[in-house]
Structure 1
Amino acid sequence: MMKIQTWSSTLHRAPPHAAHQTLAIQNRSLAPWENIVSEDPRRLPRRISEARCLTKGCVGLSGGHHEKEREEDLAWRSVPIQVEMMVLRLRRGQGRRSREYQLSSQVITVGCTCVRGRVVRHD
């Protein structure tokens, strides 16, 4: 006998101005990133938006908004913020046309943040 696991979710639409603010965050961040879409036809959801850090260091630490004040500072590091997400993976079933989905987890990058660079002391 096959067990079926079900769950429900309630989706709420964000107000229109919230979407605009969210998009601007990736550009205003000290660790800017771009969003790329990962597609996998054997996964549900098939499309997942993931972040990719654009710099190795952090920018704009001097607090200015001019191009020169937004130079990259390599004393700080831009690192990905990752979360684990549950996805369904398509598997072949027992029959010729049978399909089964297996619940699994996938780590995705949702943004980037600044951290101090590591200091290695040589005594």
Structure 2
Amino acid sequence: PSPRRISYDPGRFPRYLPEAYCLCRGCLTGPRGEEDVRLRSAPVLVPAVVLRRPPGCAGGRAVYVEEYVTVPVGCTCVPGPDKDADAVNSSLDKSARP
């Protein structure tokens, strides 16, 4: 589940931006929706363009600058961290490098 909260920034357009957040640490699975902590809830992030109004104006007009922000729009399930991942991941084996 990913309800929304509203981010407010008076110097940004739009001033109000809905953002999702994850309710559970694990993921809801099975026919009854039990929480499985072997998986973890992770936010789904998307880039968005907002307009930022810096202080002052140029030639008597307000100036806005494009700014890219990352907005959480939902949650998804990802595998939890594996305690033995370092032991089986050969890319982390520094002795194998020349």
Q: Which band: TM-score by shorter chain?
A: 0.7 to 0.9
TM-score by length of 2: 0.77
Q: Does 1:36 align with 2:14?
A: no
1:99, distance to aligned residue in structure 2 (A): 2.5
Determine the C-alpha separation between the residues in 1 that align with 2:15 and 2:69: 13
For 2:83, the aligned partner's letter is: V
The question of 1:120 aligning with 2:83 is answered yes
Matched residue type, 2:76? T
Root mean square deviation of aligned Cα: 2.0
**1:108 partner amino acid:** V
Gaps of 5+ in 2: 88-98
Cα shift readout 1:65-109 (whole Å, capped 9, x = no counterpart) = xxxx222110001000001100100112356x6531111111000
Gaps of 5+ in 1: 1-31
Contact 1:80-1:109 at 8 Å conserved across structures: yes
Q: Which residue of 1 aligns with 2:52?
A: 89
Query: What is the aligned length?
Result: 86
- Structure ranking higher on relative contact order (CA contacts 8 Å, 6+ apart): 2
Letter in 1 for 2:27: C
Identity of matched residues, %:
38
